[in-house]
């Protein structure tokens, strides 16, 4: 009788420990709430997070249409800014600026605050969005007493 009670107690302890430890397995996933694929149920970061600016990065074939300069085709490159997590740098913007134009991202849209990237007296401002592999930007370039209003579609 004592022997069967002993086995019952040991068996119960082993079963309880197995249930307790199996319930402690934590789920893996993206734990960054600002990431595109944030998983609120994930408890362990597994390096799968896609930051909101990753989808903007790359080389683009750009087709532009402006009220003063007409149509233009050129290549642009978008890189992540190194000084924060929400900004991108657009190189060869409008096939005009030597230095990159800075934009601040909020999920699938971004804002180009007024800036003079080259210090040449040509100011740019605007906004844009991404859908799939296409970035669309509406912007204005002010300088020399003129305002050039443009739309550019940039495709990866």
Residue 48 pLDDT exceeds 60: yes
Question: Do 13 and 75 have their domain in common?
Answer: no
Phi, psi for residue 7 in degrees, rounded to 5 = -65, -35
Which residue segment(s) compose the domain that 80 sits in?
A: 54-155
Residue 61 pLDDT exceeds 80: yes
User: Domain holding 136: CATH number?
Assistant: 2.40.128.420
Question: Do 106 and 79 have their domain in common?
Answer: yes
Question: Do 62 and 112 have their domain in common?
Answer: yes
Provide the token pair at 125.
Answer: 């401002």
In terms of DSSP H, where are the helices of the chain? 2-22
Provide the token pair at 86.
Answer: 């929400």
Pick from 141, 149, 80, 139: nearest CA to 111: 139
For the segment 124-136, the average pLDDT, to the nearest whole number, is 97
Q: How many folded domains does the chain comprise? A: 2
**pLDDT band for position 16 (cuts 50, 70, 90):** low
Question: Do 76 and 35 have their domain in common?
Answer: no
**Structure-model confidence comparison of residues 54 and 61, the more confident one:** 61
Please report the sign of the dihedral spanned by the C-alpha atoms of residue 124, residue 125, residue 126, residue 131. Answer: positive
Where is the domain boundary, 26, 45, 64?
Answer: 45
Question: Do 40 and 83 have their domain in common?
Answer: no
pLDDT at 50: 84
Question: Do 59 and 124 have their domain in common?
Answer: yes
Question: Do 122 and 150 have their domain in common?
Answer: yes
For residue range 63-73, what is the model confidence (pLDDT) as tens digits? Answer: 999 999 999 99
For the segment 145-152, the average pLDDT, to the nearest whole number, is 97
Burial class (CB in 10 A: 0-12, 13-18, 19+), 57: middle
Question: Do 138 and 100 have their domain in common?
Answer: yes
Question: Do 39 and 111 have their domain in common?
Answer: no
Pick from 62, 38, 82: nearest CA to 133: 62
Question: Do 86 and 134 have their domain in common?
Answer: yes
Question: Do 65 and 31 have their domain in common?
Answer: no
Question: Do 70 and 142 have their domain in common?
Answer: yes
For residue range 93-102, what is the model confidence (pLDDT) as tens digits? Answer: 999 999 999 9
Share above pLDDT 90 across residues of the chain, in percent, rounded to a whole number = 71
How, if at all, do strands 146-155 and 134-143 pair? antiparallel
């Amino acid at each position: 009788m004592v022997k069967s009670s002993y086995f019952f107690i040991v068996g119960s302890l082993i079963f309880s420990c197995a249930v307790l430890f199996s319930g402690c397995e934590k789920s893996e996933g993206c734990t960054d709430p600002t990431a595109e694929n944030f998983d609120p149920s994930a408890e362990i970061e597994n390096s799968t997070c896609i930051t909101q600016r990753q989808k903007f990065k790359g080389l683009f074939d750009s087709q532009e249409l402006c009220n003063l300069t007409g149509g233009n085709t050129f290549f642009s490159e978008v890189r992540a800014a190194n000084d924060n997590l929400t900004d991108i740098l657009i190189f060869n913007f409008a096939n005009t600026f030597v230095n990159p134009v800075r934009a601040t991202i909020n999920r699938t849209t971004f804002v180009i605050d007024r800036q003079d990237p080259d210090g040449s007296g040509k100011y740019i401002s605007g906004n844009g969005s991404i859908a799939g592999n296409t970035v669309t930007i509406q912007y204005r370039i002010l300088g020399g007493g003129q305002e050039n209003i443009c739309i550019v579609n940039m495709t990866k």
